[in-house]
Chain A
């Protein structure tokens, strides 16, 4: 087997702070300018800039252009032939909230009751999770984590993935209120023997329950504004920014019926709406675009959920959303598999997205949906110096080789548990 034995050594040598320690130390604050010379810049905002330089100063992108002059104390890195991207953003997952899915003690995603708008995901975000460095190693610098559950699940937080703890990981807290929308399907199956009409009744009951929560919350919000509340209801208090339109409602829904129901609710209360999941979003892409409802599509590899759907239904969905003008991001709603989101975006290219559109779906569009587009998500002067360098096309397995990552100008160690075990067992004597 022609196995490139030297690649790991190269990789380790290339990172700014190589370490063989069992844990990985977060990058230190940028102390000197860094000039990346001669790369292909996939800006996500102004197309592709060939043979360009990018200057990072004090954690920000200070300049972009050809033949930039390096400041006196700058560290210059030749990235000729390499590809530069904004740090990738994965939306809506449990990264850092679960370490080992099957071990309950390591899972901090779920609360009891279905009215938890006051839960904040970031509290449980474990910056020392062994999983996070493996996701970074594939180009991801940011993740929007949210609490799971039923109905009103809680608030998401946008985290940067190279931190000492959740405090310094937090980019934005209270990004959105997440709702697990009640099921709308009436399809039975042979192990769930409920009749269609019974399922419909259950669905209607749960939907009414969610609507009732909004009635209660609105009553609280209105009374609060009038100074009539006699105490604090932590749950409804947390929904004030949602009713004010300051915080979007992230509705986790795949079925067209759920999405329609959520849109009606959003219209009734004038809420900003984001659909998470969105398997059926292509069936109503024009309506979503017209109502300016964004979609986090979490099934780029999705297998059809209905008997009669074509195998490639989910694969084609991003291009259909793009065509209709829906603002969307691509993601996977999991944790360890977040590292594969970039390849899901790659597959979407073969089903109709342009590479620029695919890149936007994991950078600037994702940043916009999370409300941080002025800070991150594209290679633009003034934005955070969060940059990823790949040997080649970041979306394809054959060319995806992450060489460097900076978050806010801090060099990120790309080592991880997978790599460490690899390195250890490379050394096992032949036996």
Chain B
């Protein structure tokens, strides 16, 4: 062994015997190491692969590889390891690790109110964004750590796939053996998949500050990589007029499909979101790191076809010991606590391929207790073993080397006393023929009783337990004295005992001896200082000291599984009903106006007939609506519900590349609350932090569906612009005074320049298209820019502009600018001074969506008036009322009624402000917005006149589906209380081990988003702070 290696390993050799590998390139210092590596494991139960077991078998190993498996005799010259009573498994593989790679410096990203950082510092060919480290090949930083390796090996892991877990594009991973040795020797695969995540880690750059920003950055980067493949080495003749830059990050991503990727997710929503994002780029070679929430959407996750690397970390039980503190505990958290241990069994049953990882565990030694708990819930040994061996072996691209005990495979073995998937215990792992022993295979058993004659007194020495747990007592009749300072090293034993307690004299007696067979020979050191030789004979093993009683696991589930899986979630997908609604006052919001004593027939999700005294088609549900009012479903032009992890990408003045549609959260309870107020459709807008914000998404408030089903099918694309105080950062504090623009004057130039860039961008593509085939090859193709692409769509009248605006000057500015540049403002939203320039708005063809009566809360709303709606309408502007808040979204009917009160608007016109008018503003008026035959059956049944303060929504229907029913709501509310009580009882009755948790996080609701909510929500969601928090939670 070379001196170098000695120093490297000296710290690591505790119970291991490390054969050397041929170090192929270093010169040998001193005498060569030629120790053989010929091993024979005999008499073992060998699990060669999941589902295949050989009893009493032999495994031969030559030079770190398995050379034979079966019943063959052990050839001469092999070191024999008697594995009687032991099970052998192929070494486990952890496909998600940061082993051997230094962690990122724990740098904080920008904080709320902290100074923004707009640029990444550039080095070499790094990316323009600080969260992109795609060019990193972590194999080049790999330094093995025997100490860290041991924490894996103790759980049976012998190989890992590893990278630094920092940033969005985290760089290329590698696969390494956990053996000791020179790094180069341990690399099993140098070019593993790119690791990815949504969080930006240690990047100090402000962008992206939202989840949608992170997704947009990923989208742009993947697109750029495709472009770079075609463009690098050429002249970018059409855009920058320079040679295409060298960009190492993009270069590294050009072969992504070959290298593959592993994407870290934080919950089931994130997992499904990643899948769709990757599908956009046709990335097939990708695995996903799961969260433990897969059970709640297992069918959808199965449909992704992806392999999931699943942590076995479980959350701590919510604290319910204090009665009042139970108020802070949510049903969702209680349910997840109960169901997290079922996750693997549910996935296995559904047929989702998965590998297991120790990632996310607070401590790696929680792995086996947790996995066994999963098995109690139905995971089989075969499934678990596959998740530890064959599945990850395939995932890391080494199915011919790792994951099985078979000839030619790497000699990575786990040796367990007993069946590891039952009560067994790992006593050693062998990694490429290197032994890592944790416990002796054939331990010395001291336990038993020994007759002791001490100065004529007949005493009994009782020993029980093994190893560190060895204990005993010295007894005489009914007296006894506990042994102290018990120390066992292999066959050697020492202890001290106080004689007085055993009524055997005074002072402390000391013993040291050696056990050979049943004879314990040694000497007493008497209190007097004299020694006395002694030979004790083990009589009989005392009854094996009872292991601490195993905690009883109650596998009977008391929680419901709903969609979404939280209070008020629905148990089944809700279906359409054909219905005959009788004798209502129908507010049609179309030319028919208000119809008394009218029937409405709903068929296949549409209003099929509206009239008086209609007959009920057979099989139709009849709803007697006598005394009730029926209106179209309420439509909200401006909402921020159901958006995940940030409503603003306010880190740049123009962020038209970000898409609200990427971050829909169908689990937001505000969807259900909106339904309870009669709202059926909402446009989810980006916030107002920048002049040109992100792309909007129109949704239907369907409760219990997927993000995709939440989207209003075929609603034309739209986008948020903003003007005024928010975009000039007037109320953001002293640190936010450097980004252009800082004034309303600069807002105009910002928008003009952005559109000019979009025009030039469009022209570049047109020019490229016009080139001959031969000339196309000579120049770089133009680079797809999703930011400008969205502006081109506006210019092409493919995308509608909704602009946050308050004061008359800025409204006029934007109208003039739009006319000059050649686009239309579709809707001015908020528009509280719209009444001052209503004629100009009408002339431009813009509509308006206003607050009913908000004012005085900031400078630019000082001239807001509650008669704004009437004054604008009076001048020919089409007006709606929006909520901009989940609170107001529950009573937009009341907000509309305020125009009746303040300016005498007709009741029909007032109701239209929350039905057909916003439908027109969202360009969905052909489908919804009125109770008209042939339109989608979105409607509300009200207890009173719909504009009355006394009106409550009895039922809210979308597409012929009753998503809200007041009576059902009351029943569910009672069920929530009852189910919560059952679960809290279960927590209170559970063993401490079941309450403690091991690092699994629970989902937390987003805050209620406001237009002006700005800050690094991406960092807040994914920062290390949170990880630390989870890790210390219990």
Binding site for B on A (CB under 8 A): 1-4, 7, 99-103, 130-131, 184-191, 193-196, 255-257, 260, 280, 301, 303-304, 306-308, 310-312, 335-336, 339-340, 343, 346-347, 349-350, 395-398, 400-401, 417-419, 421-422, 425-426, 428, 430-431
> What is the CB-to-nearest-CB distance from B4 to chain A, in angstroms, rounded to a whole number?
44
A-B pairs with beta carbons under 8 Å apart, 20 shown: A3-B873, A7-B903, A100-B856, A184-B324, A185-B328, A186-B328, A190-B1026, A191-B1007, A257-B325, A303-B886, A306-B328, A307-B1005, A336-B857, A340-B853, A343-B949, A350-B943, A396-B949, A397-B947, A398-B948, A422-B903
Does B944 touch A at the CB level, under 8 Å?
A: yes
Assembly CA distance A11 to B536 (angstroms): 112
How many Å from the CB of B417 to the closest CB on chain A? 38
List B contacts of A193 (CB < 8 A): 1025-1026, 1029
Say whether B858 faces chain A, with CB atoms less than 8 Å apart.
Answer: yes
Partner of B858, one of A103, A306, A431: A103
- In the complex, what residues of B have CB within 8 A of residue A336's CB? 854-857
Contacting residues, chain A, for B950 (C-beta < 8 A):
346-347, 349-350, 396
Any chain A CB within 8 A of the CB of B865? yes
Contact B947 A398 (CB under 8 A): yes
What are the residues of chain B within 8 A of A419 when measuring CB–CB? 865
| B835 CB-CB contact with A under 8 Å | yes
**A residues less than 8 Å from B372 (CB atoms):** none
Contact mask for chain B residues 665-677; partner A; CB cutoff 8 A; 1 contact, 0 none: 0000100110011
B856 near A3: Cβ-Cβ < 8 Å: no
> With an 8 A cutoff between CB atoms, is B451 at the interface?
no
Query: Which residues of A have CB within 8 Å of B79?
Result: none
Q: Which of B566, B898, B900, B1025 contacts A307 (CB 8 A)?
A: B566
In whole Å, how far is B197's beta carbon from the nearest beta carbon of chain A? 16
Q: Which of chain A's residues have a CB closer than 8 A to the CB of B866?
A: 418
Q: Please, which residues of chain A bring their CB within 8 A of the CB of B945?
A: 398
Q: Known pairs A1-B874, A7-B903. 20 more at Cβ < 8 A?
A: A1-B873, A3-B909, A101-B857, A102-B859, A184-B324, A185-B327, A186-B325, A189-B1004, A195-B1033, A280-B327, A306-B327, A307-B669, A307-B1005, A311-B672, A346-B950, A397-B897, A398-B945, A418-B867, A422-B865, A431-B840
Cβ contact within 8 Å between A301 and B887: yes
B839 close to A (CB within 8 Å): yes
Q: For chain B, residues 1007 to 1021, give those with C-beta under 8 angstroms from any C-beta of chain A.
A: 1007-1008, 1017, 1020-1021
Interface centre among B905, B1004, B1025 (most CB of A within 10 A): B1004
Contacts of A187 in B (CB 8 A): 328
| Bound Cα distance from A425 to B1032, whole angstroms | 62
Give the CA-CA distance A301 to B949 in the complex, in Å.
12
Tell me which residues across on chain B come within 8 A of A190, comparing CB atoms. 1004-1006, 1020-1021, 1026
Residue in chain A with minimal CB distance to B974: A310
Contact of B905 among A3, A347, A428 (CB under 8 A): A3
Given A189-B1004, A398-B900, also A350-B856 (CB < 8 A): no
Q: Given A398-B897, A398-B948: A303 and B865 within 8 A (CB)?
A: no
- Within 8 Å by CB of B871, from A2, A396, A400, A425, lies A425
User: What is the minimal beta-carbon distance from A56 to any residue of chain B, in angstroms?
Assistant: 27
Asked whether B672 lies within 8 Å of A347 as measured between CB atoms, the reply is no
B316 to chain A: closest CB distance in Å?
Answer: 10
Query: Which of B854, B857, B1021, B1032 has most chain A Cβ within 10 Å?
Result: B857
Distance of A413 Cα from B1005 Cα, bound (Å): 47
Complex-state Cα separation, A431 to B1032, whole angstroms: 67
Most chain A CB within 10 A, of B327, B567, B874, B907, is at B327
From the candidates A99, A307, A349, name the one contacting B332 in the complex (CB within 8 A).
A307
Bound form: Cα–Cα A203–B952 in Å: 39
Report the minimum CB–CB distance from A5 to chain B (whole Å).
8
Determine if B980 is an interface residue (Cβ-Cβ < 8 Å). Answer: yes
B1019 to nearest A CB, angstroms? 10
Query: In the complex, which of the residues A101, A311, A396, A400 contacts B969, with contact meaning CB atoms closer than 8 Å?
Result: A311
User: Contacts of B277 on A, CB cut-off 8 Å?
Assistant: none
CB within 8 Å for A102 and B976 given contacts A187-B328, A195-B1032, A260-B324: no
Known: A343-B894, A397-B949, A421-B863. A188 touches B873 (CB 8 A): no
Q: Are A101 and B894 in contact (CB under 8 A)?
A: no
Q: Which of B330, B835, B894, B897 contacts A425 (CB 8 A)?
A: B835
Nearest residue, chain A, Cβ from B906 = A2
Residues of A within 8 A of B1005 (CB): 189-190, 307
Contact yes or no, B906 A400, CB < 8 A: no
Note all chain B residues with C-beta closer than 8 A to A194.
1029
Residue ranges of B at the interface with A (Cβ–Cβ < 8 Å):
319, 324-325, 327-328, 330-332, 566-567, 669, 672-673, 676-677, 725, 731, 835-836, 839-840, 853-859, 862-867, 870-871, 873-875, 886-887, 890-891, 894, 897-898, 900-901, 903-907, 909, 943-945, 947-952, 969-970, 973, 976, 980, 1004-1008, 1017, 1020-1021, 1025-1026, 1029, 1032-1033
The answer to whether A398 touches B901 (Cβ under 8 A) is: yes
B905 A397 Cβ-Cβ under 8 A? no
Complex CA distance for A336 and B864, rounded to whole angstroms: 12
Q: For residue B970, which residues in chain A have a CB less than 8 angstroms away from its CB?
A: 310
Decide: B891 and A301 in contact? CB cutoff 8 A. Answer: yes
Q: B1032 near A311 (CB under 8 angstroms)?
A: no
**How far, in whole Å, are A96 and B177 apart by their CA atoms in the complex?**
72
Separation in Å of the B899 CB from the closest CB of chain A?
9
Residues B858 and A102 in contact, CB atoms below 8 Å apart: yes
> Across the interface, which residues of A come within 8 angstroms of B836, CB to CB?
425, 428
Contacts of A421 in B (CB 8 A): 835, 863, 865
Interchain nearest-CB distance for A96 vs B (Å): 12
How far, in Å, is A104 (CB) from chain B's closest CB? 10
Task: Enumerate chain B residues within 8 angstroms of A430, measured Cβ to Cβ.
Answer: 839, 875
Determine which residue in A3, A186, A349 has the highest number of CB atoms from chain B within 10 A of its CB, and name it: A3
Contacting pair B874 A311 (CB below 8 A):
no
A200, closest chain B residue (CB): B325
10 A-B pairs with the lowest CB-CB distances in the bound complex, closest first = A4-B904, A102-B858, A397-B897, A187-B328, A346-B949, A190-B1004, A2-B906, A336-B856, A307-B330, A308-B567
Of residues A1, A7, A195, A347, which shows the largest number of chain B Cβ atoms within 10 Å of its Cβ? A1
Q: A190–B1001 Cα gap in the complex (Å)? A: 10
Q: Which residues of B contact A99 (CB under 8 A)?
A: 856
Knowing A3-B905, A425-B836, the reply to whether A397 touches B898 (Cβ < 8 A) is yes
B976 cross-chain contacts in A, Cβ below 8 A = 308
Q: CA separation between A262 and B1007, bound complex, in Å? A: 28
Contacts of B672 in A (CB 8 A): 311
Q: Which of A1, A100, A311 contacts B906 (CB 8 A)?
A: A1
A152 to B382, CA, bound (A): 65
- Note all chain A residues with C-beta closer than 8 A to B949: 343, 346-347, 349-350, 395-397
Q: In the bound complex, how far is the Cα of B856 from the Cα of A100, in angstroms?
A: 5
Cα A346 to Cα B836 with chains together (Å): 32
**Closest chain B residue to A101, Cβ basis:** B857
Q: Return chain A residues, CB-CB under 8 Å to B566.
A: 307
CA A130 to CA B1032, docked complex, whole Å:
52
Q: Is the CB of A307 within 8 A of B906?
A: no
Most chain A CB atoms below 10 A, which of B669, B677, B947, B980: B669
Residues from chain A with a CB closer than 8 A to the CB of B325 are 186, 196, 257
Taking CB atoms, residues of chain B closer than 8 Å to A308 are: 330-331, 567, 976, 980
Q: How many angstroms from the CA of A349 to the CA of B952 in the assembled complex? A: 11
Closest to B318 in A: A196
Contact A422 B871 (CB under 8 A): yes
Q: How far is the CA of A3 from the CA of B902 in the complex (A)?
A: 11
Inter-chain contacts of A7 with B (CB < 8 A): 903-904
B966 CB, nearest partner CB in chain A, Å: 9
Look across to chain A and name the residue whose beta carbon is closest to the beta carbon of B669: A307
A contact residues around B867 at 8 Å (CB): 418, 422
Residue of A nearest to B972 (CB): A310
Q: B425 → chain A, closest Cβ, in Å?
A: 33
For A350, the chain B residues whose CB sits under 8 A away are 943-944, 949-952
Q: Are the C-beta atoms of A256 and B324 separated by less than 8 Å?
A: yes
A417-B855 Cα distance, complex, nearest whole Å: 11
